[in-house]
Structure 1
């Protein structure tokens, strides 16, 4: 069996990377984070026009008709670029929320007991119900009521504004179609974003290690730095194998393992990248702290480490 990417998949990945390079370069990324991390509606619509949110909708419903593997490739690129916004929730609710498939609507994610990101600019709310993976969508008057009762909270990630919302158990919403698995699929797409972030942290560490000199030699020639970078590569490639495999099978147990490994890779690589950068890595001007903060936040979304471990333990039993 051939597990290499097809030419079409490579072209799809290259296309989203080119789009993000032109519309969300480092200067725009830093401006977005300095400005509070709100969703850029113009870019959101461009992503919709490129087919990102309608990627897995059937062609008969106006979608692209592709699958989880293709979504994973695109979300990996968006994680690499640190693109802010509820990307996974919007794609998963594209068939249930008017305008989401085209990028005209933003769908935020709500999980019990956790703050909601990007609520202030959301057109709908995807509410995850329990650990079984079901979900419903709040919009219109129900969403406006949630917004009225919500309050902003300080966010660890400057690219993700957060709101604390009331208990949503009593709010009626539109159920997702039968067979939808928002928690599992959202966890996989978030794992792909973590994978992209882990890869970008590795690239930044290797680049800095080759440019920064101490004692008349690049710091990358020192054994301790070599070990840090080698460990980062192992984490990223291990997570990549798990994420890509889970995208092919769609198995909840494999998705849990992929999310666990991708979270560890994103957080661990950002931490080690910060160490390679030394004192400047702790400054606001360096990008590495943004990857670390986003990785911490994503690790608590869709499927936490404790939740993933429970899934894996139950499968072993």
Structure 2
């Protein structure tokens, strides 16, 4: 079995990365506060980001879960803000979602991201939602009384549909969030390695010190383990593998951001460094969808 990306998948990943790096700047987004860049949202729609899994007969790209995961990984890498998951899930259900003309959010348990900016909410039921202070300055949140959120569907075959999932599918949402976490974990690894090569102390690059080498090596292991889990879940669509992927991706994103902060030292704590933005976003994403405790219980029950 060939586990390497195909040429088309590499081209897709490269195209999404090129679009985001050329169009999105996280610092400009911070200056804009909680205002969503509607122009960029429309560009994502025009590029097929939200319609990746829609059949071509319905105006979509006609690809599958593995390709969607690659796209969301790139979005996580640059900390792209906005209700990406909600709009993606709504692409086949709500007019304007696939094209990026509509911004659609969805509840994750008791939390709803970007509610004020959304044109629609999957599942409705936003009565009583109140603003909730978010750790991440680029992820405004509301809290729902009594929870709710996307359902983790019980499927006899234990697999996601090949052509996508319904607009209330929490399993697909978890996989896409896991892909974003994977992208963030990979980016903080790159940031730590680059800083370790450039920062000098006692006449040599700090990357030559054993303690720093160990931190970077641990970060690499987390990324590769999480990547294997996320990619495997995208190929199989198995809901238990999705639970494992979410668990490992959350861990990789949070711990890699913390280790990247450690490599940067005092510099990493400053507002000017992007390290804290990855850590805050990783913490918030870990609170969306399946929690670590829920994933652990599901996997333990299956064993």
Deviations 1:243-267 (A, max 9, x none): 0011000000001111100000000
Contact 1:210-1:219 at 8 Å conserved across structures: yes
Contact 1:93-1:100 at 8 Å conserved across structures: yes
- Structure 2 distance, partners of 1:306, 1:261, is 12
- Structure 2 distance, partners of 1:34, 1:115, is 24
Counterpart of 2:141 (choices 162, 166, 171) is 162
> What is the TM-score when the length of structure 2 is the normalising length?
0.91
- Structure 1 distance, partners of 2:257, 2:245, is 18
Counterpart of 1:211 (choices 198, 205, 210) is 198
Tell me the residue number matched to 1:23. Answer: 23
Cα RMSD between the aligned structures?
1.8
> What is the TM-score when the length of structure 1 is the normalising length?
0.87
Moved over 6 A (4+): none
The alpha carbon displacement at 1:304 in A equals 1.1
Can you give the 5+ residue segments of structure 1 that lack an aligned partner in the other structure? 127-136, 170-176
Contact 1:36-1:161 at 8 Å conserved across structures: no
Contact 1:36-1:160 at 8 Å conserved across structures: no
- Structure 1 distance, partners of 2:2, 2:183, is 23
What pairs with 1:10-89 in structure 2 (closer than 5 Å)?
10-24=10-24, 28-89=25-86
Can you give the 5+ residue segments of structure 2 that lack an aligned partner in the other structure? 149-162
- Structure 1 distance, partners of 2:164, 2:21, is 37
Tell me the residue number matched to 2:114. Answer: 118
Q: How many residues align?
A: 288
Q: SS of the residue aligned with 1:119?
A: coil
What pairs with 1:1-317 in structure 2 (closer than 5 Å)?
1-24=1-24, 28-112=25-109, 114-126=110-122, 137-138=123-124, 146=127, 149-166=128-145, 180=166, 182-316=169-303
The alpha carbon displacement at 1:150 in A equals 3.5
Q: Evaluate the alpha carbon distance shift between residue 49 and residue 228 of structure 1 in structure 2; reply closer, same or farther with a 3 A threshold.
A: same
Contact 1:198-1:269 at 8 Å conserved across structures: yes
